[in-house]
Amino acid sequence: MSAEFDLIARIRARAGGRADVVLGIGDDAAVLQPPPGRQLVVCTDTLNAGVHFPDDTAPADIGWKALAVNLSDLAAMGAVPAWCTLSLSLPDADPARADALLDGVLELATLHGVVLVGGDTTRGPLSLCVTAIGHVAPGHALRRDGAGAGDDLWVSGTLGDAAAALRGWSQGDAVPAALRARLDRPTPRVALGAALSGLASAAIDVSDGLLADLGHVLEASGIGAEVDVDALPASAALPDACPGLELRRALQASGGDDYELCFTAPPALREAVQAAAQGVGTMVTRIGRMVADRGLQCRTAGGEQWESARAGYEHFAG
Amino acid sequence: MSAEFDLIARIRARAGGRADVVLGIGDDAAVLQPPPGRQLVVCTDTLNAGVHFPDDTAPADIGWKALAVNLSDLAAMGAVPAWCTLSLSLPDADPARADALLDGVLELATLHGVVLVGGDTTRGPLSLCVTAIGHVAPGHALRRDGAGAGDDLWVSGTLGDAAAALRGWSQGDAVPAALRARLDRPTPRVALGAALSGLASAAIDVSDGLLADLGHVLEASGIGAEVDVDALPASAALPDACPGLELRRALQASGGDDYELCFTAPPALREAVQAAAQGVGTMVTRIGRMVADRGLQCRTAGGEQWESARAGYEHFAG
């Protein structure tokens, strides 16, 4: 038995199960029983070494993050995650690394009752491609194109920690563990997303930076937004690591890798949104409002116009 | 607008649609309406540059093959393909290559009515990770573990062409176009797989080599097989390119990359299998039978025992 089939056998033994997995890892494909009366929600995201995580990231954290960024996409649709696949490219047959990558994937999967149902392993530079599949009530998916003028603009959790960690790491600074954990093990807002289904008018997850991702909502919805940059929620750890106000604003507005949910809802639902968020134990903060005029205006608490020095992380930017 | 979003916009414009795609490319995830009363069938496979195709392979052929190997997995389950996602890692922002890769994916997708519903683009060594989703009648998926002693052993199409092409290419020989096409643009046996659902007792697609893949069926089904190596179907092009009988046998039995279906069925269904195959215009050949004793015996037409020089392609084989 080759190393590849050995690895697949180990993955299979650890993948877990649930009643709707008719046939999991070990055949040409998985067979799944979709929940009746629900629509499927499907996303795919890849993490590549040298691009998506610092090169000293622990393999278990890489595995966690590869699934987390996908569960975050499902959360941004208001979907309940169910199953995932993992395509794993490995530069060698080191079983310890493969197992550690899998540790991270399965730790997060277990937290959300998600079952790994398939995938493949190939030789190549380290890369993890995850496809996540969930479900949502028909018509209740949170889309980018549903925001209306006058809606409140909200964001979950706190912003800027992951970007601060990445900045510190790339400068060779000592990075506080609390910040580094936000970069390495983002928390997909799965329960919040599901709780917002039926309340939020639009949603997106913050992966490339708040303003860049909000821009996709504006474009899809055909409207504009006003953002109060001093209302952006920050962790307790952020001011210590980044004492400068301007840098902190920039990291929060444009840093990326937060995997928080940015969403809109009518002001009439303000209390319902707060109650839904409280019900799942996730903080949400109002950070602005949607306006009919296209474009994105940022203002400080003092009312001054503010422009981010960076427009968010873009692949291939050059 | 960055090159990445530009590329996504181009992909979105070309992805096509079908009635059950509620929301396609352009949001955090796709929303799909599963067909009522069917089970989902899901698989993922990645093609990496330097591993899964010769480095002179045309981008459109790489795109075709990335989807083909996944549709082949669905075919081996007897599933009807419906949707796919594509995660594309590109070393640079060259739009011509990206478009050509997409040309190949979409050409094959269109042939099978499959819609590209999502994915992502990242920087990295050239790699294509495809997830394909199809559906099957409950309980009718073709599994590896259903083969019974006494069943006929069948294979579709012809074997050995792709391996002969790869061998010729790696030796620097001129490779006949007919063989090279089998390597670059494999034909997933989608219609045959669906037609065999309800007839075949077990199935697998031939990707790593007939004997290696048959071995998975034997292991899952807990039985053995006798294979007549001189019954393995060959294209007209193969003997010309490989005059030596032993080499030809080895390429056919163990070469890999054929993407034919290897399947089993009770002898009582022999005519039904032939009729089903004829109905979809795909040749099928009986190449042996399943036996109660575990193990895999190969014999020549003369009745001699035959051993393959190679055990099939294995990743990480060292």
Q: What is the pLDDT of residues B19-35, one digit of tens each?
A: 999 999 999 999 999 99
- Side-chain half-sphere CA neighbours of B25 within 13 A: 24
> Is pLDDT at B14 greater than 90 in this prediction?
no
- With beta carbons less than 8 A apart as the criterion, state whether B47 and B164 touch: no
Q: B77–A141: do the CB atoms touch at under 8 Å?
A: no
pLDDT 10s digits, B78-129: 999 999 999 999 998 888 999 999 999 999 999 999 999 999 999 889 999 9
Query: CB–CB of A49/A55 below 8 Å?
Result: yes
Provide DSSP, B120-143: EEEESSSEEEEEEEEEE-TT----
- Rounded Cα distance between B66 and B69, Å, is 6
At A310 the pLDDT is 43
Q: Which residues of B285-318 are buried (b: 16+ CB within 10 A; e: fewer)?
A: bbbbbbbeeeebebbeeeeeebebebbbbbbbee
Amino acid at B105: V
Given the DSSP bridges, would you call strands A30-32 and A21-23 parallel, antiparallel or unpaired?
A: antiparallel
B239 min Cα distance to partner chain A (Å): 31
Check CB contact of B91 with chain A, cutoff 8 Å. no
Query: How many CA atoms are closer than 13 Å to the CA of B179, on its beta-carbon side?
Result: 26
Identify the bridge partners of residue B84 per DSSP, sorted by sequence position. Answer: B116, B132
- Which value does ipTM take for this structure? 0.93
The angle at the Cα of B68, spanning B277 to A45, to the nearest 5 degrees, equals 140
List the single residue in B with minimal CA-CA distance to A314: B2
**Rama region for B161: left / alpha / beta (φ>0; ψ in -120 to 50; rest):** alpha
CA distance A39 to chain B (A): 5
Q: How confident is the model at residue B312 (pLDDT cuts 50, 70, 90)?
A: very low
Q: pTM to 2 decimals?
A: 0.94
Looking at this protein, which amino acid is placed at residue B100?
Answer: A
**Would the pLDDT of B310 be above 80?**
no
| Chain A residue closest in CA terms to B124 | A48
CB proximity under 8 Å: B 212-231 to A: 220
Q: What share of chain A is helix, strand, coil (3-state, %, to 5)?
A: 35, 25, 40
The pLDDT assigned to B4 comes to 64
Joined tokens for residue A99: 């197992």
pLDDT at A313: 39
Domains in chain B, CATH or no CATH each: 3-136 (3.30.1330.10), 151-299 (3.90.650.10)
* Residue indicated by tokens 């790593």: B208
B291 pLDDT exceeds 60?
A: yes
- Per DSSP, the three-state class of B30 is strand
- What residues contact A194, with CB distance under 8 A and at least 6 apart? A75, A78, A79, A80
Residue B188 has pLDDT above 80, yes or no: yes
Assess contact for B261 and B254: CB atoms under 8 A: no
pLDDT at B48 over 70: yes
Distance CA B32, CA B12 (A): 16
Quote the pLDDT of residue B315: 38
H or E element at residue A259:
none
**DSSP conformational letter for B222:** T
**pLDDT higher than 90, residue B197:** yes
Q: What is the pLDDT along chain A (318 residues), one digit of tens a residue?
A: 456 667 778 888 888 789 999 999 999 999 999 999 999 999 999 999 888 899 899 999 999 999 999 999 999 999 999 999 999 999 988 889 999 999 999 999 999 999 999 999 998 899 999 999 999 999 999 999 999 999 999 999 999 999 999 999 999 999 999 999 999 999 999 999 999 999 999 999 999 999 999 999 999 999 999 999 999 999 999 999 999 999 999 999 999 999 999 999 999 999 999 999 999 999 999 999 999 999 999 999 999 999 864 444 333 332
DSSP-assigned letters across all residues of A181-205: HHHHS----HHHHHHHTTT-SEEEE
Query: Using alpha carbons only, what angle is made at residue B145 by residues B113 and A16, rounded to the nearest 5 degrees?
Result: 80
Q: CB-based contact (8 Å) between A26 and chain B?
A: yes
- B317:A2 CB<8 A: yes
Q: How confident is the model at residue B311 (pLDDT cuts 50, 70, 90)?
A: very low
Is B208 annotated in a binding site? The answer is yes
- Read off the tokens for A64: 């966690």
CA distance linking residue A60 with residue A31, whole number of Å: 28
Instruction: Look at residue A13 in the predicted model and tell me its pLDDT.
Output: 84
What is the rounded average pLDDT of the residues B215-227?
A: 97
Q: What is the mean pLDDT of chain B?
A: 93
What is the mean predicted confidence (pLDDT) over B292-309? 89
Residues B78-108: b if buried by 16+ CB within 10 A, e if exposed: bbbbbbbbbbbbbeebeeebbbbbbbbbbeb
Q: Which two tokens stand for residue A113?
A: 């009752």
pLDDT of res. A3? 62
B141 touches A at CB < 8 Å: yes
| Chain A partners within 8 Å of B42 (Cβ) | 29-30, 32, 83, 85, 117-118, 131, 133
Q: Are B125 and A126 in contact (CB under 8 A)?
A: no
C-beta atoms of B3 and A144 within 8 A: no
Please give the C-alpha separations between residue B105 and each of A90, B70, B128, B170, in angstroms, as whole numbers.
24, 11, 10, 25
Asked whether residue B52 carries a pLDDT value surpassing 80, the answer given is: yes
pLDDT of residue A315: 38
**Do B89 and A48 make contact, defined as CB atoms within 8 angstroms?**
yes
- Chain A residue with minimal CA distance to B262? A28
Q: Mean pLDDT across the stretch B222-239?
A: 97
Maximum C-alpha span of chain A: 68
Contact present, A51 and B123 (Cβ < 8 Å): yes
Whole-number Å distance between alpha carbons of B270 and B152 = 8
As a whole number of angstroms, the distance between CA B277 and CA B200 comes to 12
Is the pLDDT confidence value at B198 over 50?
yes
CA distance A80 to A41: 9
* Two tokens, residue A66: 């590869």
Cβ contact, residue pair A143, B40, below 8 Å: no
- Minimal CA separation from B134 to chain A, in Å: 9
Q: What's residue A51's pLDDT?
A: 84
Residues 6+ apart with CB under 8 A from B109: B16, B67, B84, B115, B116
**Which tokens hold the place of B97?**
């290559």
- Asked if B43 and A22 come within 8 Å (Cβ–Cβ), the reply is no
- Which of B76, B87, B117 faces A28 most closely, judged by CB atoms? B76
The answer to whether the beta carbons of residues B182 and B161 sit under 8 Å apart is yes
Residues of A (144-173) whose Cβ lies below 8 Å from B: 144-145
Q: What is the pLDDT of residue B2?
A: 57
| pLDDT score of B1 | 41
Asked whether the beta carbons of B266 and B273 are under 8 A apart, the reply is no
Least confident span in A98-107, A111-120, B45-54, B150-159: B45-54
